[in-house]
Structure 1
Amino acid sequence: PEPYGIIASDLSSRGDAHHLIRVEAGGSRRPASAATVAEGGHFFKMDGRGVRDFVAEHVPPALLALTRRAGVDIGAVDHFV
């Protein structure tokens, strides 16, 4: 069979985009309390349009750089996770 599996990986973070996806309470900064639970601070919150814009701007160049580092043509990759 043709080669399969993980060809390459990359992990990065962008602290400047922290406001796009967040859980505002329940961690070390704002520990769980009756007040944080009552205000719904433990729920996942996301700026959907902001995430879409971030992904559209930053993910394609990151995937291109990743495949170049791996020495693989981007068109040869079936799936990115």
Structure 2
Amino acid sequence: CGRLTEDVQGGGKRQAFLWCRLEEEEGRFRVIPSRRQGSGQNRSLQGACALLPVAAGGPDLPAGSDVEVLLLRLPPGRKEI
């Protein structure tokens, strides 16, 4: 669980998974979506350690929202969660 750092547009016709970085701040994670999310945008993988699921037809997610992410690997500097 973490706090979203910027607005994320709600779901379209299909469920989406956005690449994200996680940064720890005051004992919580900040969830920072990668700027470019297209299939050919390999730079979006750089530093990403989590995926943010966005449900099909779901609502917009405003910055500051608490969200659940799928952890792909531990964030830099962490040995455990």
TM-score, length-scaled by structure 2: 0.23
Greater RCO (Cα-Cα under 8 Å, separation 6 or more): 2
Quick check: which one's helix share is greater? 1
Larger Rg: 1
TM-score, length-scaled by structure 1: 0.23
Quick check: which one's strand share is greater? 2
